[in-house]
Structure 1
């Protein structure tokens, strides 16, 4: 099976390509660096020509109010090219709980992307993942100073990127879901607790202060970043840290 992986050189995309090729498929990575621009449309038709499946892992360069326009334009261009090429299955990666957090521009943008795909002309699959373990350092940096890191107690169920990539590859190689599969890590933490575990592992002596107003995830109420009914990956956070 020939599979075009758009955004195939990034954190998830490069691993998806490796998993698919190891399984005997012909997975081809495409990105700006390979001459494919999903906004201008340059190289998109050529990238999708002859593909049985398209996996779109491109991401908005910003997480602000400009992100919906990125997903609208990129999905319009990719869907038009996929339909022209006769692609039979279109896969995207989204976020668990995105529809529950309309306060965040980026989450609204991901919901828009899902709606565009579901309303489009091609059989589809949406894989929704919880927060990547690899992003924890960035989360810590948002509200840190020399002595403290301020984090809310928002529940979070982190998943390793390799587990995300494996799930995306599995879905891409299968029949279209025409729906959504949620995936998550095996453990739920409060974000402040996860911060303390991370700093302790790094021998970082900064103090984590629980602050319900700190950082992007402060606006998230309840357990929007977790899903007890999701397909659970195997990698535990402390094992990943090690």
Structure 2
């Protein structure tokens, strides 16, 4: 499990272990560094499946591209040497429609490298996490107001993300993308307004059709999955109640 000590990775490790699988949490703090290759051979020795949920420490264009290209190159090379039978990676719903963002260009590069590697693979596209609504708010704040486009938005709980990734990891390679999402759709401005009110955050949220999403102009369909997406079971209300 690459990125196995983070928000999603630690939950995936737990879910795999609950199903009787041996899951190793690999991350820099456990001595595994995908950028330098340190500890990677040892971590993948004997592994049947590699699951990569790691993320770039920077969202800036060049550092993000460098991270995903270097880390994915090292992971693909080492997984091939280890005869890994299934390569699983976590990405984002709408990545191919967010290419005006350097970060999402880097995510697309990661996906393209995996799909073109010749190795059996599955890519999981998840919608945004409830846990990241605050980050969306902070990024979209202008002069004390949060400007967001009133487009459709279908966020999900990190627990449901982890469950979806674990299901894919335990199955046969898809050699394709699997979309997962939350059980409810909102308008983006509506979702953020509700979440901030629950946290006692007084910043006003403005529905602005010209406002970008992380610097990218989006349509009403950009942030929501297709009709065949697997939906999680945790609603926003249920998730919010768990945070109190």
Same fold (TM over 0.5): yes
| Paired position in structure 2 for 1:219 | 217
SS of the aligned residue for 1:162 comes to: helix
Residues of 2 paired with 1:93 and 1:204: CA distance?
30
Partner deviation per Cα, 1:93-126 (whole Å, 9 max, x = no partner)? 0111100121111111111111101111321011
User: Hey, what's the Cα distance between the residues in 2 that align with 1:193 and 1:145?
Assistant: 18
8 Å Cα contact 1:152/1:217 also seen in 2:
no
| Residue 158 (str. 1) matches residue 155 (str. 2) | yes
Quick one: which of 111, 132, 135 aligns to 1:135? Answer: 132
Contact 1:159 1:184 (C-alpha < 8 Å) held by counterparts: yes
How is 1:119-130 mapped onto 2 (pairs within 5 angstroms)? 119-130=116-127
Kindly provide the CA deviation profile for residues 20-43 of structure 1, in whole angstroms up to 9, marking residues without a partner as x.
Answer: 001000001000011111111111
TM-score (norm 1): 0.93
Unmatched segments (≥5 aa) in structure 2: none
| Worse-superposed segment, 124-133 or 138-147 | 138-147
Q: Secondary structure at the match of 1:6?
A: coil
More moved, 90-99 vs 66-75: 66-75
Is the 1:151–1:215 Cα contact (8 Å) retained in structure 2? yes
Q: TM-score, structure 2 length as denominator?
A: 0.92
Equivalent residue runs for 1:3-18 within 5 Å? 5-18=1-14
The aligned residue for residue 71 of structure 1 is 68
Structure 1 stretches lacking a partner, 5+ long: none
Shift of the alpha carbon at 1:157?
Answer: 0.7
Which position in structure 2 is the counterpart of 1:108? 105
Of 171, 174, 179, the match for 1:177: 174
